[in-house]
Amino acid sequence: MVENNHSTDSTGEFQRSLSHFDDRILADPNAQWPVEPGRYRLVVSLACPWAHRMLIVRRLLGLESSISVGVTDPVQDERSWRFTLDPDDVDPVLGIGFIGDAYYAREPDYRGGISVPAIVDIPSGELVTNDYLQMTLDLSTEWGGFHRDGAPDLYPVALRPEIDEVIGLVFRDVNNGVYRSGFAAAQDKYDRAYNGLFNRLDWLEERLTGRRYLVGDTITEADIRLFTTLVRFDPVYHGHFKCNRNKLTEMPALWAYARDLYQTPGFTDTVNFDHIKRHYYQVHTDINPTKIVPLGPDLTNWDTPHGREALGGRPFGDGTPPPAPPEAEVFADWRL
């Protein structure tokens, strides 16, 4: 089984490949890819948790006018993520029908997986990077000269060691753990991933019972990386990926924490449950061969009061909430 640039090995364990294109866009004007507003286009799927966190960071930092965004259809075909949401099925900036075209413009003989998020150099049409682990950090650290006034510090220097430690654990057991459970092809591999996932969720439940955010008293990179998995947990991972010890709604601290973030400006308008559900249930035909998309769960409860303000904390620290997004970027309202 191959899912984009990921696979299941001969033992039945899910393996996530490292990003093949790991160039960085740097503030150094002499870099191969220098920071330059208007030069690059971010390509995302609203269904993808790795792309979703790029959208959130970009919104919170106010980089919408510096880095444009293209949104793919949530359902790929064998040629990769496609721009069928745009007129004539072509991205209006890049002039291509598939993000794979940018991969091949960069490396014509490339035979690996095609993934999002991806950043493309508009003048050349070449892919710059698909390194989802580094891209959000670079938005915080390399693009600082173009952050909006009042942008929060999502990766504060003093907290970076703790943030890095937390996001490493969350990646291994939660962000990637749901995939290791869902795509396991052997019982023992599934058992190991499932137990690691819920042990870590129990750890997070305890950690978040007495504190509003994962690290420090403001929203950081760690919260964004956890949120994009939590928001998909009950709609997708609980049933589709067999992560069914309990639902997110049955973990009081985590459920309140997820709602707190969801209701924070910069998060809500990036969440599209329609794209999320249709992608997972219609693309992973080895898991769901009928392609039937469940009608549930009820998602109106994401807007219910969470009570997390009582724990203190300042969502944006010394900064301010982001303004309303451009009309074309209220992604939560998108429907096919």
CB 306 within 8 A of CB 263: yes
Start-end of H helices in 62-159: 100-106, 132-141
- Which amino acid does the sequence have at 19? S
Give whole-number Cα distances, 260 to 143, 226, 302, in Å: 27, 13, 9
CA 25 – CA 122 distance, rounded (Å): 13
Distance CA 122, CA 98 (A): 14
The one catalytic residue in 48, 190, 243, 257 is: 48
| Active-site residue (options: 40, 132, 155, 179) | 179
Which residue pairs from 64-67 have beta carbons closer than 8 angstroms and sit at least 24 positions apart in sequence?
64/325, 64/326, 64/329, 65/37, 66/37, 66/38, 66/143, 66/146, 67/37, 67/40, 67/41, 67/42, 67/119, 67/139, 67/143
Tell me the DSSP string of 226-266: HHHHHHHIIIIITTTT---SS-GGGSHHHHHHHHHHHTSTT
Three-state DSSP state, 178: helix
Q: Is 143 annotated as belonging to a binding site?
A: no
- Taking the C-alpha atoms of residue 170 and residue 150, their distance in angstroms, rounded to an integer, is 28
Is residue 48 among the annotated active site residues?
A: yes
Kindly list the catalytic residues: 48, 179
Residue ranges of the binding site: 81
Feature table: binding site for glutathione: 81
